[in-house]
């Protein structure tokens, strides 16, 4: 087997008030996998994500990206390799134009000239947003802004993309467009979502997290079909949705 693109081992973390948020959490993702991270609110999913590129540091346990420990001396490289797309695109889009937003990350890593222009063009083309490159981000719809937020990460040429609730608050057309874009990306992906049909569509594998630990790990269809597991971890499919019915 290849070196995992992402490996989390016995990760534990407490908030300053003493609340235990992560409890011996562990999993690995190999290059090219698309994995959904599922769980109820308060399960520890966001805290886990913040450990993946060094925003938070483990009290015990470890995180490695392609064999590289998430430690101070590696942070710049780790943050290039692991791109996080936040739920609210306005957390990532703050420049006067879309083009400047997408260029911001690689420019801060010293990319310039033709290479920078190519990265911006390639990233925007990958999400179907090259035609809005010179528009202000706040003039775009939510679906368009979320696609541009994905482009800001792709411009860094990451090895792993982590998406936090990518389908939330999108209309059906925007939801479908984003799904097509994400499916076409040839990249390792971890998708945090409450949208279980979206997880089934985009991610062959799913992790279930609750009370700070990884409770289950398996094929997404099998995870969503396990009624006892779903009920125990407060996961509910939409009314009438059958994960074993191929749509």
Q: What is the CATH number of the domain that holds 22?
A: 3.40.50.300
At residue 70, φ and ψ (nearest 5 deg) are -80, 90
How confident is the model over 175-194, as a mean pLDDT?
Answer: 95
pLDDT band for position 107 (50/70/90)? Answer: very high
Res. 75: pLDDT tops 60: yes
Answer whether residue 135 is part of any domain: yes
Query: What pTM did the predictor assign?
Result: 0.94
Distance CA 34, CA 186 (A): 10
145-179 burial, b for 16+ CB within 10 Å, e for fewer?
bbbbbbbbbbbbbbbbbbbbbbbeebeeebbebbb
Is residue 153, in this structure, part of any structural domain at all? yes
- The answer to whether residue 242 sits within a structural domain is no
Is residue 245 in a domain?
Answer: no
Q: In the prediction, which pLDDT does 244 show?
A: 85
Does the pLDDT value for residue 240 go beyond 70? yes
pLDDT band at 155 (very low <50, low <70, confident <90, very high): very high
Note whether residue 17 is domain-resident. yes
Question: Structural domain tally of the chain?
Answer: 1
Q: What are 17-65's pLDDT values in tens digits?
A: 999 999 999 999 999 999 999 999 999 999 999 999 899 998 999 999 9
1 found inside a domain: no
Evaluate if residue 1 carries a pLDDT over 70: no
Task: Quote the pLDDT of residue 110.
Answer: 95
Distance CA 172, CA 142 (A): 12
Is 125 inside any structural domain?
yes
Query: What is the rounded distance in angstroms from the CA atom of residue 36 to the CA atom of residue 194?
Result: 10
Query: In this model, does residue 246 exceed pLDDT 80?
Result: no
Cα separation of 247 and 242, whole Å?
A: 9
* In-domain check, residue 142: yes
Q: Identify the bridge partners of residue 37 per DSSP, sorted by sequence position.
A: 192, 207
Cβ atoms < 10 Å from Cβ of 5: 24
Domain limits for position 216 = 6-232
């Amino acid at each position: 087997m290849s070196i995992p693109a992402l490996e989390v081992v016995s990760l534990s973390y407490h908030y300053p008030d003493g609340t235990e948020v992560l409890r011996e959490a562990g999993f690995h993702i190999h290059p090219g996998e698309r994995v959904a991270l599922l769980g109820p609110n308060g399960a520890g999913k966001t805290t886990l994500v913040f450990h993946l590129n060094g925003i938070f540091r483990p009290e015990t346990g470890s995180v490695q990206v392609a064999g590289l420990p998430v430690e101070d001396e590696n942070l710049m490289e780790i943050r290039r390799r692991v791109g996080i797309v936040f739920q609210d695109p306005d957390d990532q889009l703050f420049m006067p134009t879309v083009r400047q937003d997408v260029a911001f990350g690689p420019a801060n890593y010293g990319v310039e000239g033709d290479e920078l222009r190519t990265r911006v063009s390639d990233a925007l083309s990958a999400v179907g947003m090259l035609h809005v490159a010179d528009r202000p981000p706040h003039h775009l719809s939510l679906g368009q802004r979320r696609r541009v937020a994905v482009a800001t990460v792709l411009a860094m040429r990451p090895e792993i993309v982590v998406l936090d609730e990518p389908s939330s608050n999108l209309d059906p057309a925007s939801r479908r467009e984003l799904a097509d874009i994400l499916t076409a990306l040839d990249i390792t992906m971890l998708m945090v979502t409450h949208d279980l049909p979206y997880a089934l569509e985009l991610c062959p594998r799913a992790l279930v997290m609750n009370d700070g630990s990884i409770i289950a790990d398996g094929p997404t269809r099998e995870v969503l079909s396990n009624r006892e597991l779903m009920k125990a971890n407060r996961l509910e499919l939409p009314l009438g949705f059958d994960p074993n019915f191929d749509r």
